[in-house]
Chains A and B, each alone.
Chain A
Amino acid sequence: MIPELGQLALAISLSLAFIQAIIPIAGAAYERADWMALARPTAIGQFVFVALSFCVLANAFLSNDFSVLYVAYNSNSALPAVYKFAAIWGGHEGSLLLWIMILAFWTLLVAILSRSLPEQLVARVLGVLGIVSCGLLLFTLLTSNPFERLLPAAFDGNDLNPLLQDPAMALHPPVLYLGYVGFAVPFAFAVAALLTRRLDKDWARWTRPWALASWMFLTVGITLGSWWAFYELGWGGWWFWDPVENASFMPWLAGTALIHSLAVTERRGLFKSWTILLAILAFSLSLLGTFLVRSGILVSVHSFASDPARGLFILLLLGVISGGSLVLYALRAGRMETEGGFKLVSREAFLLLNNILLVVAIMAVLFGTLYPLFLDAMGLGKISVGPPYFNTVFLIPGLPLGLFVGAGMHATWKSMRGETLIRKLAVAAGFAVVIGAVIPWVAFGSASSLTMVGVMVGLWVVVSALFDPVRRLVSSSSSSMPFSLAQWGMTLAHLGVGVFILGATITSSYTIETDRSARPGDRWELFGYEFVFRNVRNFDGVNYRATEGEFEIRRNGSLVTVMTPQKRTYLVQQNPMTEAAIDSGWTRHLFIALGDPLGDGAWSLRIQYKPLIRFVWLGPLIMAFGGLLAASDPRYRSRQVTSRVKSRPVRVVGETV
Chain B
Amino acid sequence: MRAGRRQRLLLIGLVLAGVGLSAGLALRAFQENLLFFFSPTQVVAGEAPTGRAFRLGGMVVEDSVQREPGSLTMSFVLTDYAYSMPVSYTGVLPDLFGEGQGVVARGQLMADGSFIANEVLAKHDENYMSPEVADALAAAGMVRSE
Give A contacts to B, CB under 8 Å: 161, 163, 235, 299-301, 305, 341, 343-344, 349, 353, 356, 360, 364, 367-368, 371, 381-389, 392-393, 396-397, 400, 515-517, 519, 573-578, 593, 595-596, 598-602, 604-606
Contacts and interface: CB of A to CB of B under 8 A. Distances in A.
Most A CB atoms within 10 A — which of B26, B131, B135?
B26
B33 A575 contact: no
A386 B33 contact: yes
Interface in B41-100: 55, 67, 69-72, 90-93, 95-96
B14 to A, nearest CB: 9
B146 to A, nearest CB: 19
A299 B104 CA distance: 13
Given A515-B92, A578-B95, A602-B70, A385 B19 contact: no
A356 B14 CA distance: 12
Interface of B: 4, 7, 10-11, 15, 18-19, 22, 25-26, 29-30, 32-37, 55, 67, 69-72, 90-93, 95-96, 124-128, 130-132, 135
Contacts of A383: 34-37
Given A381-B36, A384-B37, A573-B126, 20 more contacts: A161-B124, A163-B124, A300-B124, A343-B7, A360-B19, A382-B135, A383-B36, A389-B29, A396-B26, A515-B72, A515-B90, A515-B91, A517-B71, A573-B125, A575-B95, A575-B125, A593-B92, A600-B70, A605-B92, A606-B91
A344 B36 contact: no
B69 A575 contact: no
B126 A517 contact: no
B69 to A, nearest CB: 4
9 contacts: A161-B124, A300-B124, A382-B37, A389-B33, A393-B29, A515-B90, A598-B67, A601-B70, A605-B92
Contact of A385 (B34, B126, B132): B34
A360 B93 CA distance: 37
A305 B123 CA distance: 13
Contacts of B135: 382
B33 A596 contact: no
Contacts of A371: 30
Given A383-B35, A389-B33, A596-B93, A602 B69 contact: yes
B33 A598 contact: no
Contacts of A396: 22, 25-26
A341 B5 CA distance: 11
- Main SS at interface, chain A: mixed
Contacts of B71: 517, 598
Contacts of A353: 15
B26 A384 contact: no
Nearest to B53: A386
Q: Which 7 A-B pairs have the closest CB atoms?
A: A599-B69, A392-B29, A382-B37, A389-B33, A595-B92, A602-B70, A600-B69
Contact of B35 (A163, A384, A517, A605): A384
B33 A385 contact: yes
A223 to B, nearest CB: 22
A595 B74 CA distance: 13
A573 B127 CA distance: 10
Nearest to A235: B92
Contact of B26 (A299, A300, A356, A393): A393
Contact of B32 (A341, A388, A595): A388
Contact of A393 (B25, B95, B126, B131): B25
Contacts of A604: 72, 91-93
B72 A305 contact: no
A515 B95 CA distance: 15
Nearest to B127: A305
Contacts of A364: 22, 26
A396 B131 CA distance: 33
A299 B11 CA distance: 43
Given A341-B4, A343-B7, A367-B30, A576 B96 contact: yes
Most buried by A among B25, B70, B131: B70
Contacts of A515: 72, 90-92
A596 B92 CA distance: 7
A289 to B, nearest CB: 19
Nearest to A602: B70
Contacts of A595: 92-93
Nearest to A389: B33
A388 B33 contact: yes
Contacts of A601: 70
B70 A599 contact: yes
Q: Of residues B10, B32, B33, B71, which shows the largest number of chain A Cβ atoms within 10 Å of its Cβ?
A: B33
Contacts of B125: 161, 163, 301, 573, 575
A147 to B, nearest CB: 22
